[in-house]
Amino acid sequence: MHADLSRITFRPERHYSAVLAQQGRVQLDADANEQTAIQLHQARTIAADLIGRHGGPAGATGFAIGLDSRGHELDDLTIGGGRYYVDGILCDASRPAPGDAVEDDDGDGHDGGHDGGHDGEDAGRDGGGRDRTGGRAGDRAGGTDATPAHWTYWDQPDGHRDPERPGDRLPAAFPYLAYLKVWERSVTAAEDPALREVALGPDVPDTAARVKVVWQVLALPGSELGVEDGETGKDTLRTAFRRWADERSAPGSRMAARSRRPERADEDPCLLRPDARYRGPENQLYRVEVHEGGTADEATFKWSRENGSVVLPVDGLDGTWVELATLGGDGRLDLNTGDRVELADTAYTSRGEPLPLLRVEEVDLPGRRVRLSGEPGGGVGRRPELRPCLRRWDHREEPRRGGRGARGRLRGGAVPVEEGRWLPLEDGVEVYFEPGGAYRPGDHWLVPARTATGAVEWPVNAARKPLLRAPAGIQVHYAPLAWVMGEHGVSDLRLSFGPLAGPVPSATEEELAAEAQAEAEARALAAQGEPEGPADTTGTQA
């Protein structure tokens, strides 16, 4: 999560059930966040144990898939509303209805509409409201002015599919499998201004961040499932998809971190502890995040001493000049010449396809502008409704004074991954990538550094050697939805569950048990050919 955090303390293997606040103690964000994480872990574990890996409630099962290829230049999928659980995570496919606006008093017929709307509601349209697939978005609901009752593949809220990109289009060959991809990301006031309490004044940009569940309906060609021709039973398809999903969910890389007293540390006289291994002047939460994925020869990473939380909203983009809403709250959270930045927006974040990081070449303080080393690509930053922003990263190509800064030549603005050796970040913080890793964009590790101990917080073994750890995120979850066979229809692969509640019995359990026992005894007597009724206890003979 790209948020201004002190550290993440939730460890499910510790089996803590609650956080207890003590009187007279300092309140920390880590404690409150751990309580939230404990409750969320418990709720999702219960849901997954009862439901299974995926499923929806009977009568309200969401994400029903339908093929729509009539009257459009490109095939489309309809996504039915309702709820669905994936590994205990609730996904809601219901499309919110638009609000009713009130006309102005002057009667000019103008109404402002709803402010901003849902980011994804405009994701599949151009500036004139025309759906990119060639028709009006409202046509699917039967009227040109009506809002569709359901999402589609092209306008799903966090899909951000682009028909002009061949890789985003649905497979041309049938059959293929439509599936659900689910993960979570953080949202701050830079992306959702409604989170900011304006009563606090301009000097307080925000307070708390949010965590959002992101879902996407995507398509997988049938040839990639590895099933034999004709083996298209629902259970066979679900099993093959689970195997495919498990391969992509499993972490492919591990990293370790440590702090080591750098060379020439004695030249810095301002530290409180001369023996400190971590030489930074402040407590930090370092974030090491994979930028470009692939093997070690292909992958790159970026790092931030602020957990990637230094984000500046973008007001405008003119070539290489970027106009910002603010240049930062102070000298520690602003931009300077030489900084590496990432221009991102909602679509860029949801797609997870990184672009080269750019360098700040010039800062125009009066105009709140910065000039970048290149013009941002991929169309990022040119749609205000997607909340574009600049995210600062702290690695540099040249080492800083005193040994600070990651050494080595950058590739695409990021640091090349080197496995099997300790790589310096800054101020004595070093990281180590295990040989043979497979890296995915967005995978990240968090490394708290503390001035009180002069070290970083990282798990070690009995010999005090740093342990290799899988990424802290991103955790991606998958569920199969439908087997799309073209003109032969769509085979539903979803699962559903019924309510646990039943009617209240008219008698107690003891009474019901006694009645059942009496009926069983009567049936046993009837089977033996004996008359039903009370036994003769007089002892006389006929």
> CA-to-CA distance for 307 and 170, rounded, in angstroms?
36
Range scoring the smallest mean pLDDT among 122-136, 286-300, 482-496: 122-136
pLDDT for the residue numbered 107: 56
pTM score, whole prediction: 0.84
pLDDT for the residue numbered 275: 60
> CA-to-CA distance for 184 and 207, rounded, in angstroms?
20
Q: Which of 406-420, 491-505, 524-538 has the highest mean pLDDT?
A: 491-505
Q: What does the CA dihedral 339, 343, 345, 348 come to, rounded to 10 degrees? A: -120
pLDDT for the residue numbered 108: 55
Q: pLDDT tens-digit profile of 391-404?
A: 999 998 865 444 44
371 burial type by CB count under 10 A (0-12 exposed, 13-18 middle, 19+ buried): middle
Name residue, tokens 């640091």. 415
Residue 233 vs residues 259, 491, 493: alpha-carbon distances, Å = 54, 9, 10
pLDDT for the residue numbered 339: 94
Over 80: is that where the pLDDT of 465 sits? Answer: yes
Name the residue with higher pLDDT: 266 or 114.
Answer: 266
148 closest CA partner among 101, 102, 71, 96: 96
- The phi, psi pair for 465, rounded to 5°, reads -95, 135
Average pLDDT for residues 170-188, to the nearest whole number? 95
- Residue 70's pLDDT band (cuts 50, 70, 90): confident
Average pLDDT for residues 453-480, to the nearest whole number? 96
pLDDT for the residue numbered 113: 44
Q: pLDDT tens-digit profile of 192-226?
A: 999 999 999 877 778 999 999 999 999 999 999 98
CB 30 within 8 A of CB 240: no
> CA-to-CA distance for 393 and 78, rounded, in angstroms?
39
Q: Is the peptide bond before 474 cis (omega within 30 degrees of 0)?
A: yes
pLDDT for the residue numbered 269: 57
> CA-to-CA distance for 404 and 427, rounded, in angstroms?
6
> CA-to-CA distance for 414 and 540, rounded, in angstroms?
104
Q: Could you give the count of Cα atoms lying within 13 Å of 26 in the half-sphere of its Cβ?
A: 3
- Residue 438's pLDDT band (cuts 50, 70, 90): very high
- Residue 78's pLDDT band (cuts 50, 70, 90): very high
> CA-to-CA distance for 507 and 542, rounded, in angstroms?
42
Average pLDDT value for the chain: 86
Residue 511 vs residues 283, 415, 532: alpha-carbon distances, Å = 67, 74, 21
- Residue 125's pLDDT band (cuts 50, 70, 90): very low
Average pLDDT for residues 151-173, to the nearest whole number? 93
> CA-to-CA distance for 117 and 129, rounded, in angstroms?
13
Q: pLDDT tens-digit profile of 236-294?
A: 999 999 999 999 999 999 999 999 987 665 566 555 566 667 777 889 999 999 999 99
